[in-house]
């Protein structure tokens, strides 16, 4: 049901994107909407696979991501939102006990996502495909928080507060959807981020823990 709607949305977003600035500067390539600077790592095959899944999840919304294996530099493509992703070991103070990651939209002037990878690995329990899917969904969820500019959660899908065993099983079979409301908020937020520093509905700067 949601898929058809997303496709329509993606087409509309695609048209808008075509009219925008081509930060890649190359004919025939889609402009980049969000640049992700990754610091630290998950195991290579899992990380790369997860990035592809996240690309697909946002691609359905007509949003193009670009990944860089480096801390955020001062060089930011014009017209793109930049987000820093940090993989950390241990338990940062800002994280709640059960969170796998948390987002701090525009804290200290940057959008930052912290991933506590050991917790993801513990849940995946050596199941590689699940580990890759779970990392992808954790990243997509936190990127969603940054773009939406809120700490709100949905009843289902990518932006659900707490995934159940059923959700875990489903995400291995294929990426979960963003709800229609989340998709709309993400597109609105992205447009706002591009226009200014932060979306108008940015509720607070203290971020969220999943
Ligand atoms: Zn969350």
Can you give the pLDDT at residue 70?
Answer: 75
Q: Of 52, 51, 125, nearest to 87 (Cα)?
A: 51
The kind and range of the H/E element at 112 are strand 110-116
65-93 pLDDT, tens digit per residue, is 999 887 656 556 677 898 999 998 888 87
123-180 pLDDT, tens digit per residue, is 999 999 999 999 999 999 999 999 999 999 999 999 999 999 999 999 999 999 999 9
**How many angstroms does the Cα of residue 204 sit away from the middle of ligand 1?**
14
Can you give the pLDDT at residue 49?
Answer: 94
CA-based angle 154:158:164, to the nearest 5? 85
Return d(Cα 130, Cα 124) in angstroms, integer. 6
Q: Provide the 3-class DSSP secondary structure of residue 111.
A: strand
**How many angstroms does the Cα of residue 130 sit away from the middle of ligand 1?**
19
**How many angstroms does the Cα of residue 177 sit away from the middle of ligand 1?**
15
Q: What CATH number has the domain spanning 2-196?
A: 3.40.390.10
**How many angstroms does the Cα of residue 143 sit away from the middle of ligand 1?**
10
Residue 107 has pLDDT above 90, yes or no: no
As a whole number, the mean pLDDT across the chain is 80
Domain locations in the chain as residue ranges = 2-196
pTM of the model: 0.79
The token pair that represents 102 in the structure block? 């948390």
184 with 178: CB under 8 angstroms?
no
């Amino acid at each position: 049901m949601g898929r058809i709607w997303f496709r329509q949305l993606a087409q509309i977003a695609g048209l808008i994107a075509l009219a925008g600035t081509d930060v890649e500067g190359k004919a025939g390539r889609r402009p980049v909407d969000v640049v992700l600077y990754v610091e630290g790592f998950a195991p290579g095959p899992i990380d790369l696979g997860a990035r592809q899944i996240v690309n697909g999840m946002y691609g359905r919304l007509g949003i193009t991501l670009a990944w860089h294996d480096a801390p955020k530099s001062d060089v930011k493509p014009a017209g793109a939102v930049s987000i820093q992703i940090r993989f950390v070991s241990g338990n940062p103070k800002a994280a709640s006990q059960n969170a796998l990651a948390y987002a701090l939209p525009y804290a200290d002037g940057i959008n930052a996502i912290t991933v506590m990878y050991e917790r993801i690995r513990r849940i995946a329990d050596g199941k590689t495909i699940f580990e890759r899917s779970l990392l992808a969904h954790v990243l997509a969820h936190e990127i969603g928080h940054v773009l939406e500019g809120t700490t709100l959660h949905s009843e289902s899908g990518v932006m659900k507060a707490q995934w159940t065993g059923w959700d875990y099983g489903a995400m291995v079979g294929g990426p979960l959807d963003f709800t229609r409301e989340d998709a709309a908020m993400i597109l609105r937020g992205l447009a706002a981020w591009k226009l200014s520093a932060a979306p108008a509905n940015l509720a607070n700067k203290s971020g969220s823990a999943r």
